[in-house]
Chains A and B, each alone.
Chain A
Amino acid sequence: MNPPAARYRYIGRPMPVVEDRRFVRGGGRYINDLSLPAMLHLAVVPAPVAHARLTGLDTSQARCAPGVVAVLTGQDLAAMMEPVPQELDLPAVVWYPLAVDKIRFAGEWVAAVVATSRAAAEDAAELVLVDFDELEPVVDPRRGMQPDAPLLHEAHGSNVVWNERHTWGDVDTAFQRADHVFEYSYRWNRHSGVPLETFGCVAQVDPTGILEIWASHQNPDIQQEVIKVMRTSKAKVHMDIDIGGSYGSKRGRKQMYLTAAAAIRTRRPVKFIEDRIENMQASDGHGPDRYYTVKVAASAAGIVQALDIDLIEDLGAYCGRGPRQITKPTSAVVGPYRIPAVRYGGAGVLTCKTNQVPFRGAGQSPHNFAIERTMDLVARDLGIDRVELRLRNFIQPEQFPYEIPGGAVYDSGNYPGAAEIAIKQARMEDLLAEQAQARAAGRLFGIGIAGGIEPGGAAAEHGEGVRIEIDATGHVVATIGFQSAGQAHESMVTQLVCEELGVELQDVIVQRGHGLAGIYAGAPTGARMTQMLGTSVHQCAAKVRRKLTEIAAFTLQVQLEEIEADGAVYRVTGDAGRSLTIRQLAKIAYGPRMKCPPGMEPGIVEQNVYAGPDIVTKRKLTTGAKQFPTYGFDFHVVVAEVDPETFHIALRKYLVVHDCGTVLNPLVVDGFVYGGVGHGIGGAMFENFAYDERGQLLAASFMDYLMPTAAEVPPIELHEQCTPTPLHPYGAKGAAESAYLTAPGAIASAIEDAVTPLGIRITEIPVTPQLLFDAVTAWQQRP
């Protein structure tokens, strides 16, 4: 940990997290804690099969059941709302919250019952009779791409909805001239954030006709979509509730529209909280699901000269926002390496599964996995040490800003520096000696390494706003546009307000807004809040200081330039006796008009919207081609041991070097890193939304979808490197994703190193004992 710069009072120090005080008392207020007078409850009817023509829905018994107020079908919704918007412009791929004429995945909702209690709604939901003609499901996207495959959306004419190929640099020449050309295939199975709170929402039409929605939805910009989809001119999405985890996955749009439709239909408030199975089967919350083929051109010395990356993405039944996860990695397509030429493309295919959501890194984690696996395998195939191969290929610290193929620009970094810290702190020589001993004793002991880039600050799409007010008593109220899903935004804003205005922690209130609060708010996606909201607070505080300075100069009868701010005190330079505190200045600002400078607005209320650094999107992609101003970096060293008889995998050591530039609050950033490793361990070793050949989800409960507990996550040793970005006032980069974007590759590297004596390679995650057993068996039985 680098010491915080001496000029900062709060930045860089472990500041107690404001939100924690209420959470430890059970005082978080989540969507399921909201109750409105006369509120009804909604339950859904799930489809029993994965692919079918919906021929009839008999809701007559359900409508007569006790407590039932309404039953909604897909036909009802189609008449009262627009389809749910999707990432790509596909007029023939039409998506409503309830199936209209076809069932496209098992668990898809075909009807919704609204009743006086959730129990009554569930009882009645069981009385809805669903008639259907079953069709052949599409479960494997490789099958779905074939010309004779059954079609999910017949009018679209194909299951393929994204099909692009981009060439940046002279790829063909590089492959023709390369000393070596290798080809590797990888499989990244579906997993996701799976927050412990399911998605939920409450909707009502208020007496003035405003459609109000409270939801555990992470993005404030959803309000504009609500207006369009629900065909209303007045909507208010409340963004002041706590969210029980998101990691990108809390974006239940169809749930919000379904609940809103139910509120409009019944003219009463309606609540819908997914149960766990609904969340796992049908919440549109799954992460990437990908097959990779990576061709690599390399010199004899192991310098990688070109990559040709082809992928097949299993998007699920509707295109949703999944395609974004295919294109996002183009913002860091070469990882931390100086690779001059890249071909990138493939196919996004619709299948009979729930939709994807851009989950933690939005497709960057599988991409980094593919890059790091490739570096390991090239090293093995050339007989070069894995660390040495990376050192030979890293972008060098003096090369920044560095433009990669495709045009994204890395702002800053020190990749060899981070790797060296990791190798030294992990005592790599000792580990290698330990490994030699272990292997001699017949143990399967492996050391893994990986680096990982985190594009941060997703800037190009939205600005980020804040309003700072100082009331007449000198208290500061900062209003931001949205709630937090665990990223401690209230704390960050509090910390920055204290830093910038010199006030004390107890004098700051951070207020979370709603869609009509006048705050221009984008979204906490793409590791952007430190970059975007942090900069916005910095700029807004400067406006506040300017006004305070004007009042101070007027009151003390000096020129503006003669006033200097020292924390919360504004004094005349060189005359310490003549000064005013923020509290005194605030009193003046709200006092009689003649005491303020002529023409000045009374009060202290300043607003700011930060649009992001001025960078241009060069890549021509159909979706998701946004630019990321800052690039963080992780380097991980992992030790794994595999039991030679049971293939049980234990992680013996986990070391991270993390570089997100300036760390604003180590308590928070350390938590992001640990949690990111936790997600990485889950994805690399346990979690898999597996489907059977009929398209039934096999992992629809926590008994079947295995997640790491405290017993599976080893102690994580964390070291910081600090390479500040020039594109942020404090030098901070995005910090919440890099550990998850690096861990799967590092863990696979360690397990592969452990089982190398058995002759197998790791090209698929999750790496389970079964996967190892099957691979070893196949190797032993090879012809």
Chain B
Amino acid sequence: MTVTEPATSSISLTVNGTVHRVTVEPRRTLLDCLRDDLVFPGTHVGCEHGVCGCCNVIVDGTLIRSCLMLAVQADGASVETIEGVAAGDELSAVQEAFCATHAMQCGYCTPGMIMTLEELLRANPQPTEEELVDALSGNLCRCTGYQQILQAARKVIASNAAEGGRG
């Protein structure tokens, strides 16, 4: 058995609004491509088999596990990572709520959690408790027991409801 140099593909993807061209092996995951080729280290490696949600990013508006998507599959796609959530110094409502409730401890699952909530609340600004828990149940956290993460999400949802009521 011998190993030969693998073939590569050139792809183009938009990350947080900027177009990147990169050459990758076909087996390279979107996760490794984002972290190592394009240097978006906020997307974290957790389990590498699609269970923990640490690597969640939004691809063309849909939440995906970047460890389960090949970089070549994202050719031409628009990718949002945690680095693109805040507008400059201004944190998003979810990020502010996470700080207000201390919805984290070690911070490792936090980017994936926030991406999950960003996607959920864009499509559905006032989810029910059941919808909220269902959406978050795809992200593991080993530090918090989820209480303060749910508090943060409820804070944003309540604020969305108040704004919706005024509108």
Using a CB–CB cutoff of 8 Å, the interface residues on chain A facing chain B are 16-17, 19-30, 32-33, 61, 65-66, 119, 123-124, 127, 193-198, 242-247, 273, 275-276, 484-488, 667-668, 670-672, 674-679, 681, 701-703, 707, 709-711, 713, 715-716
The 10 closest A-B pairs by CB, nearest first: A26-B42, A23-B107, A678-B145, A244-B108, A486-B105, A486-B106, A26-B82, A674-B145, A702-B51, A667-B102
Chain A nearest CB: distance from B130 CB in Å? 9
Beta-carbon nearest neighbor of A709 in chain B: B137
Decide: B134 and A711 in contact? CB cutoff 8 A.
yes
What is the bound-complex CA distance between A564 and B2, given in angstroms?
78
19 other contacts beyond A24-B110, A119-B25, with CB at 8 A cut-off?
Answer: A19-B107, A20-B102, A25-B95, A26-B43, A29-B41, A32-B35, A66-B3, A194-B142, A196-B108, A198-B45, A245-B108, A247-B142, A276-B49, A670-B148, A671-B102, A675-B144, A702-B49, A713-B147, A716-B147
Beta-carbon nearest neighbor of A117 in chain B: B36
Q: Which of B41, B51, B105 has the most CB of A within 10 A?
A: B105
Chain B nearest CB: distance from A682 CB in Å? 9
- State the main secondary structure of chain B at its contact with A: loop
Can you spell out 27 A-B residue pairs with CB atoms less than 8 angstroms apart?
A20-B102, A24-B104, A25-B42, A26-B82, A26-B111, A32-B41, A33-B41, A61-B2, A66-B4, A195-B142, A243-B106, A273-B45, A276-B48, A486-B106, A670-B148, A672-B105, A674-B144, A674-B147, A675-B105, A675-B144, A701-B47, A701-B49, A702-B49, A707-B140, A710-B137, A710-B149, A713-B146
Decide: A197 and B140 in contact? CB cutoff 8 A.
no
Chain B nearest CB: distance from A411 CB in Å? 27
Q: How many A-B residue pairs have CB under 8 A?
A: 189
Beta-carbon nearest neighbor of B140 in chain A: A707
Using a CB–CB cutoff of 8 Å, the interface residues on chain B facing chain A are 1-5, 25, 27-28, 35, 40-49, 51-52, 54, 81-83, 85-86, 91, 95, 98-102, 104-111, 114, 133-134, 136-150
Contacts of B142 in A (CB 8 A): 193-196, 245, 247, 675, 678-679, 707
What is the bound-complex CA distance between A678 and B4, given in angstroms?
47
Contacts of B99 in A (CB 8 A): 16-17, 20-21, 24
Chain A nearest CB: distance from B153 CB in Å? 9
Decide: A25 and B82 in contact? CB cutoff 8 A.
yes
Beta-carbon nearest neighbor of B83 in chain A: A26
Beta-carbon nearest neighbor of A17 in chain B: B102
Q: Which of B100, B101, B145 contacts A716 (CB 8 A)?
A: B145
Contacts of B83 in A (CB 8 A): 25-26
Beta-carbon nearest neighbor of B84 in chain A: A26
What is the bound-complex CA distance between A153 and B18, given in angstroms?
58
What is the bound-complex CA distance between A779 and B25, given in angstroms?
58
What is the bound-complex CA distance between A703 and B28, given in angstroms?
22
Contacts of A28 in B (CB 8 A): 42, 106-108, 110
Decide: B44 and A197 in contact? CB cutoff 8 A.
yes
Decide: B44 and A244 in contact? CB cutoff 8 A.
yes
Decide: A23 and B102 in contact? CB cutoff 8 A.
no
Decide: B49 and A703 in contact? CB cutoff 8 A.
yes
Beta-carbon nearest neighbor of B138 in chain A: A709
What is the bound-complex CA distance between A63 and B10, given in angstroms?
29
Query: When A23-B107, A707-B140 are in contact, do A196 and B102 touch as well, CB less than 8 Å?
Result: no
What is the bound-complex CA distance between A20 and B95, given in angstroms?
9
Chain B nearest CB: distance from A277 CB in Å? 9
Q: Which of B40, B102, B148, B149 has the most CB of A within 10 A?
A: B102
Contacts of A29 in B (CB 8 A): 41
Decide: B145 and A23 in contact? CB cutoff 8 A.
no
Decide: B98 and A20 in contact? CB cutoff 8 A.
yes
Contacts of B81 in A (CB 8 A): 26
Beta-carbon nearest neighbor of B100 in chain A: A16
Beta-carbon nearest neighbor of A34 in chain B: B41
What is the bound-complex CA distance between A485 and B105, given in angstroms?
8
Decide: B107 and A709 in contact? CB cutoff 8 A.
no
Decide: A196 and B52 in contact? CB cutoff 8 A.
yes
Contacts of A66 in B (CB 8 A): 3-5
Contacts of B136 in A (CB 8 A): 709-710
Contacts of A707 in B (CB 8 A): 140, 142
Query: When A196-B140, A709-B136, A709-B137 are in contact, do A25 and B106 touch as well, CB less than 8 Å?
Result: no
Decide: A702 and B107 in contact? CB cutoff 8 A.
no
Chain A nearest CB: distance from B100 CB in Å? 8
Decide: A197 and B106 in contact? CB cutoff 8 A.
yes
Chain A nearest CB: distance from B59 CB in Å? 17
What is the bound-complex CA distance between A56 and B152, given in angstroms?
56
Decide: A26 and B108 in contact? CB cutoff 8 A.
no
Chain A nearest CB: distance from B161 CB in Å? 20
Chain B nearest CB: distance from A10 CB in Å? 15
Decide: A123 and B3 in contact? CB cutoff 8 A.
yes
What is the bound-complex CA distance between A23 and B54, given in angstroms?
13
Contacts of B27 in A (CB 8 A): 119
Q: Which of B86, B110, B148 contacts A671 (CB 8 A)?
A: B148
Decide: A487 and B105 in contact? CB cutoff 8 A.
yes
Q: Which of B42, B134, B139, B145 contacts A27 (CB 8 A)?
A: B42
What is the bound-complex CA distance between A674 and B47, given in angstroms?
23
What is the bound-complex CA distance between A584 and B130, given in angstroms?
57
What is the bound-complex CA distance between A107 and B138, given in angstroms?
28
Query: When A20-B104, A26-B111, A197-B106 are in contact, do A711 and B145 touch as well, CB less than 8 Å?
Result: no
Beta-carbon nearest neighbor of A15 in chain B: B102
What is the bound-complex CA distance between A124 and B137, given in angstroms?
37
Chain B nearest CB: distance from A192 CB in Å? 10
Decide: A24 and B114 in contact? CB cutoff 8 A.
yes
What is the bound-complex CA distance between A193 and B140, given in angstroms?
13
What is the bound-complex CA distance between A657 and B40, given in angstroms?
42
Contacts of B147 in A (CB 8 A): 670-671, 674, 713, 715-716
What is the bound-complex CA distance between A425 and B100, given in angstroms?
27
Contacts of A675 in B (CB 8 A): 105, 142-145
Beta-carbon nearest neighbor of B94 in chain A: A24
Q: Which of B43, B44, B146 has the most CB of A within 10 A?
A: B146
Decide: A245 and B106 in contact? CB cutoff 8 A.
yes
What is the bound-complex CA distance between A123 and B1, given in angstroms?
11
Chain A nearest CB: distance from B99 CB in Å? 5
Q: Which of B43, B85, B108, B114 contacts A197 (CB 8 A)?
A: B108
Chain A nearest CB: distance from B132 CB in Å? 8
Beta-carbon nearest neighbor of A491 in chain B: B102
Chain B nearest CB: distance from A777 CB in Å? 31
Q: Which of B5, B27, B35, B47 has the most CB of A within 10 A?
A: B47
What is the bound-complex CA distance between A32 and B3, given in angstroms?
26
Q: Which of A20, A196, A486 contacts B46 (CB 8 A)?
A: A196
Beta-carbon nearest neighbor of B92 in chain A: A24
What is the bound-complex CA distance between A244 and B22, given in angstroms?
29
Decide: A195 and B145 in contact? CB cutoff 8 A.
no
Decide: B107 and A244 in contact? CB cutoff 8 A.
yes
Decide: A671 and B108 in contact? CB cutoff 8 A.
no
Contacts of A123 in B (CB 8 A): 3
Query: When A65-B3, A674-B144, A674-B148 are in contact, do A26 and B41 touch as well, CB less than 8 Å?
Result: yes
Q: Which of A61, A194, A244, A276 has the most CB of B within 10 A?
A: A244
What is the bound-complex CA distance between A71 and B133, given in angstroms?
47
What is the bound-complex CA distance between A54 and B5, given in angstroms?
32
What is the bound-complex CA distance between A716 and B149, given in angstroms?
13
